[in-house]
Amino acid sequence: PVQAYDMTHAAALAQRNSVWTPPFASPKGWGLALLAPVMNGPEQVGMVGTDMGLDVLDSVLVQHAPSLG
C-alpha cells in the first residue's frame, strides 16, 4: 500500500534494511508487507516488497516453532 511505503521509506533508506509494515486490512483478510530498498552503491534506485496474509505467516511460524523441553 502507498501509505505503508510512505511510512517506511525513510527508515529503510537510512538503514538499508527491510521493513515490516503494521498489519492492514485487505479484501482477502489481514495482512502485512515486507519492503526493502533497492540500492546501486550509495544510491537508492527503487523499492521492492511483498504482501503476506497473517494466516500464511501464522502457518509458517507454527510449522517452524522450536520444541520446548
Q: C-alpha grid cell for residue 35?
A: 519492503
pLDDT of the residue at 9: 59
pLDDT digit string, tens, across residues 32-62: 988 888 889 888 888 889 999 999 888 988 8
pLDDT of the residue at 31: 92
Are 49 and 33 within 8 A, CB to CB? Answer: yes
pLDDT of the residue at 12: 58
Q: C-alpha grid cell for residue 11?
A: 527508515
